[in-house]
Chains A and B, each alone.
Chain A
Amino acid sequence: MQDVDVRLTQVTKAYGDVLAVDHIDLEVLPGEFFSLLGPSGCGKTTTLRMIGGFEQPTSGLIELHGEDVTWLPPYQRQVNTVFQNYALFPHLTIYENVAFGLRRKGVKGPEVEARVTEMLNLVELPGYEKRKPTQISGGQAQRVALARALINRPRVLLLDEPLGALDLKLRKQMQVELKRIQKEVGITFIYVTHDQEEAMTMSDRIAVMNKGHYEQLGDPETLYERPTTRFVAGFLGISNLLGGKVVGAADGYALLDLADGTRIRVSAALVAGRSAVSAGVRPEKIRLNEETETVPAGRNLLHGVVTDVAYIGVSTQYIVEVRGGARVMVYEQNLERATKSELWSRGEKVQLSWNPDHTFVVEASPADAPNDDAAE
């Protein structure tokens, strides 16, 4: 029990007939930066609010460090929350905002002052004690909200899209800041966001949520390199999905026949005995070669025609229509080819190849199934 900070067991939240959260099991480890990632309406905020005590689950169990808190009100839980809109008390100074939790716990006199000062230093806002929340910027309000929560030294800190209201540059800055503070104080963070990049940058582990449950849980690398569902593959970054039928196996690889009859190899472990799956590959994993070049043996190989070129700066994005009709996105670093004349151009015939180990496998779908007259 001691090695888990937050445990959710079969937690469900229903609003009328709608299941906002659908039988979730979750374990968050001490000191972990854990993210709940998903589109709006996926149940991530409801899950967080149930951990914080602002909502009661319809059924299920919520434990904090082994103690059942399912029915405890927020003020009896050793967790604190950074709200999406900061929720600073407008009638109190920054000092009193930050000291609020300490005062409720009966901490008095010089200790309050010392801890408030320490916290404002941690979030790099010393000297702001006397101001009112209306007199600081959004980024500063966000840091005050963080200080106000952290000063109570909670076992777990809940963050509900805390960077949502900030502009892009400030958001990037705060991501780094948050990670630094989390390491410094060593508190478990549960972070809710719909921004996949934000989640990937900061998290130790991510649960990718969709329709009230999580589809996959893992560290950012695993989620990106080995998504196991179509939704996860699409939500984290861009992926090319190609439907195929499993026709055999060799050397730990499963052999997959795509729509155009091309045979590719994918890890047999990922296929896990299914007969029809979709193979996925990330755009940056694909290498483009001219038709006449010889692609090293052992790589998965497709043939296609470049239909779209977009020069981004660090890379160039190509859309290649492969023989079966599927359109494949390819990113190429502007390393060997950089000038316009060197880039692939529209209408050029190319070979696409990638390492079979870079192929992931998700469930099959009619959208990219073989045997369809897939051409769009």
Chain B
Amino acid sequence: MAMTTQATPPTAGGSLYIPTPARIRAIEDLTEFERLFELEFLDGHPLGHDPGQFVQVSVLGIGECPISICSSPTRQETFELCIRRVGNVTNHLHTLEPGAIVGIRGPLGHGFDVSEMHGKDVLIVAGGLGLAPVRSLIQYILDERSRFGRFDLLYGAREPKEILFKDDLTEWRESADVDFHVTVDRPDEQWRGKSGVVTTLFKGLPKLDPAETMVVIVGPPIMFKFVVLEVLARRIPQHSIYCSLERRMKCGIGKCGHCQANNVYVCMDGPVFKYGRLKAMREALE
């Protein structure tokens, strides 16, 4: 790949805040509001992230915003971001075409500790846009399948039209590597699947082994609370439950203060936390 003389990654005497240019390779519509962007750095270096980490995405002149990485580091050449248009930067990103250059800072924050999950059964419960950050972990587990035990994946969306990654869902449903179930809160006439909130899918789960199961819960706070109840009721210890938080972030490197939830800078200590830690952060789940 041709090297460029454009903005370089930060060096001593430079600025931590300068993003590295990355090219949009492909764009896919996921829903009316979400698009999947596949990106590669112009200098070809891999992002080198852990599942669950995030990047700061820049459109220079418009601004910058944090986006979780939704592809696995095991798929190295490019990385993917699922972007909902809700603000100035994300609206602008949705106007871009493949080939456009954006700025990336990262990977940032702490993701999932996959080594801790090795040899264990894994249960992932995702709600709404929460599927985006855990997709990096799902892909990772599928790519490194032999290193994990049983793998259950539950996904809940409000409506069928809000369901993300429909191609992936088809693949997961047919795969023998994962036991995958999806439900919607409000089914429409075409919907043939299960309906109800995501906790209703727990009825179909096999018995969880508290000592051998790691649970990952990512979704809106209200869903998180109900899922945690289900999981705790199955005697899963608090240190075996992970979750990922969303906060406002400006710097992404533990200085600007915007993402602070109680005594924790989500951008540095998170966005992935264990439930044992999270429950002491009162603001995290409010």
A, B: real partners: no
Interface residues of B (CB under 8 A from A): none
